[in-house]
Every structure is written in C-alpha cells, then in structure tokens.
Amino acid sequence: MLTPERLFRLTIELIFVLLGSLVIWLGLLRRIYVDRHGAAWLVLGVALIVWGLRALYSPGQWWLRWQNWTRGLSLVFLGVLMLVISRVPYLWVGPMLAAGGGLLALRGLIASYLVFRPQ
C-alpha cells in the first residue's frame, strides 16, 4: 500500500521522467536555445552541484540512503554537465542537453524503483 508520502515521492519522480523525456526530445531536435555563456547558466550549474553535494552529505534516515545518493549524484552530474556545455562547440550542445535529459529520466526511474522497494 502506498502511503501519502510514498505517493508524493512517486509523483515527483514521474515528473522527473517526463521532464527528462522532454529535454531529450528537444535536445535531439536541437530546439532548445539557451545562453550557455551567460552568468545565469553558470550560476545554475554551480547551484545544482552545491545542492547535490548537500543532498549527499546531509544527515538523514538510514533507510533513505539510496534515494539520497540517487538524488545527490544526479544533481551533481547535471551541474557538471551544464558547466561543460558552456565550453563545448555549438554542435555538441543538443546531444549534451539530450544526455542531461537522459540523466533526469534515469534518476526518475531509479528513484521510482526505490520508492516501491520494500523497506
């Protein structure tokens, strides 16, 4: 039986799967145009890395360890990918954004599995 807390977590992870699928689709079609050299892009990349590291090292319940690791690592990898995107040639931006979307979708799938896993 899903408790309200687990149902809420599952809904959040479903949103990550849908968001990741959308970013994959837009990245492969090269329909995302961002100012990857702007300050906002760099600040967001660094903020994602810091947020992910905070999720990795914050104290929490021991039974949520794998969920915290999944969330933290996905945020760190996404932040690093955003910083790398700001330095690659323009032709690589679409596939790298698609890779970021794949990372979000994979995070959603793994975390959804962890929500259903027996405690």
- Tell me the per-residue pLDDT of 49-97, one tens digit each, with 9 for 90 and over: 999 999 888 776 766 778 888 889 999 999 999 999 999 998 899 999 9
Domain ranges of the chain: 4-116
Task: Tell me the pLDDT tens digit for each residue of 64-74.
Answer: 778 888 889 99
Mean pLDDT of the chain: 89
Return the pLDDT at 63: 62
How far from 69 is each of 52, 73, 81, CA to CA, in Å?
9, 6, 18
Closest CA to 96 of 84, 108, 106: 84
Q: How many CA atoms lie within 13 A of 116 on its CB side?
A: 9
